[in-house]
Structure 1
Amino acid sequence: MTEINGYTLAQFDAFSMACVRSKQRRQRDQAVNLRAAQYDQGDWSRYIKQLEKDI
């Protein structure tokens, strides 16, 4: 975290909020993936192909 040395309070606040949003997106994505893991084989394969297509 040495890259934030010298940040103003406003910059640190913006950085902190970005970290929170990133964590929330990861948690949402994890929840979706855990649910998708319960799909039947055909739906699971389509889900994975769509994810790979978006890369």
Structure 2
Amino acid sequence: MDFAFVCGWCDSDVTVWGEPVASWWTDKYELPDEWECFYCEGVNVTPPPPWTPAD
């Protein structure tokens, strides 16, 4: 599932892929600890959940 974040360096909207994790009672996703902005190449830290699903 894709999640929407805002780059802390250039304020661009960025989509980050969350890998599904097996769980018996709820949907869970694992995201990288850090991700690179596609626009400015700034490195951002993934905030704690809950995350906003991307449209």
Kindly name which structure, 1 or 2, has the bigger radius of gyration based on alpha carbons: 1
TM-score range, shorter chain: under 0.3
TM-score by length of 1: 0.20
